[in-house]
């Protein structure tokens, strides 16, 4: 399922403005990322599931300062390219890649479940050193 297109006017809708306030209040009016905070608070969509942002699941929304919000979008693009390049260089067959895509698009496994599975697989492995590993987004859980 492709990402829904959200008309710009929907972000001006009073229902979205109310939802934003609820998410910011839930997050104690604080940026949920670690590090130096810059700019005003934004509500970031971890994942778009609807073209009506006021109907987005709360767990898909997180409060970020402008600096972390911009960084999250930049890192998302960079990470997507890195994954695509890794797949191109891998021995994964087209069938494997389609199953990975299906897992992502259909939410068959959550990012948290995937990370937990990978941590178990990598335990004791030298492939990724624990002190160099970062979590997928650098964000606190809501």
Ordered DSSP codes for the chain: -PPPP--GGGGTSHHHHHHHHHHHHHTTTS--BSS---SSEEEEESS---S-GGGS-GGGEEEEEHHHHHHHHHHHHHHHHHHHHHHHHS---HHHHHHHHHHHHTTSS-HHHHHHHHHHHHTT-SSS-TTT---SSSB---
In this structure, is residue 85 part of a structural domain? no
My answer on whether 13 and 64 are in the same domain is: yes
Q: Which of 75, 78, 25, 12 is nearest to 46 (CA)?
A: 75
My answer on whether 29 and 64 are in the same domain is: yes
State residue 19's pLDDT score.
97
State residue 84's pLDDT score.
82
Domain count, the chain: 2
My answer on whether 67 and 106 are in the same domain is: no
In this structure, is residue 77 part of a structural domain? no
Q: Do 65 and 39 contact (CB within 8 A), yes or no?
A: yes
Q: Which two tokens stand for residue 69?
A: 């919000």
State residue 15's pLDDT score.
97
My answer on whether 64 and 103 are in the same domain is: no
In this structure, is residue 65 part of a structural domain? yes
In this structure, is residue 2 part of a structural domain? no
State residue 1's pLDDT score.
53
State residue 123's pLDDT score.
83
User: Which domain-ending residue is among 71, 104, 119?
Assistant: 71
- The parent domain of residue 61 ranges over 8-71
Q: Do 16 and 10 contact (CB within 8 A), yes or no?
A: yes
My answer on whether 12 and 61 are in the same domain is: yes
State residue 31's pLDDT score.
95
In this structure, is residue 142 part of a structural domain? no
Q: What is the pLDDT along the chain (142 residues), one digit of tens a residue?
A: 567 788 899 999 999 999 999 999 999 999 999 888 999 999 999 888 889 999 999 999 999 999 999 998 888 778 878 888 888 888 888 888 888 888 888 888 887 788 888 888 888 665 554 433 334 445 555 4
In this structure, is residue 129 part of a structural domain? yes
């Amino acid at each position: 399922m492709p990402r829904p297109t959200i008309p710009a006017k929907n972000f001006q809708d009073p229902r979205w403005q109310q939802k934003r306030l609820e998410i910011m209040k839930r997050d104690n009016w604080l940026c949920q990322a670690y590090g130096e905070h810059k700019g005003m608070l934004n509500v970031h969509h971890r994942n778009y599931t609807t073209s009506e942002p006021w109907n987005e699941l709360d767990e898909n929304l997180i409060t970020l300062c402008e600096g972390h919000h911009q960084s999250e979008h930049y890192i998302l693009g960079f990470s997507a390219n890195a994954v695509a390049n890794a797949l191109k260089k891998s021995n994964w067959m087209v069938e494997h890649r389609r199953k990975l895509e299906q897992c992502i698009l259909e939410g068959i496994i959550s990012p948290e479940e995937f990370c937990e599975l990978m941590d178990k697989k990598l335990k004791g492995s030298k492939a990724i050193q624990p002190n160099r590993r970062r979590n997928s987004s650098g964000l606190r859980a809501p």
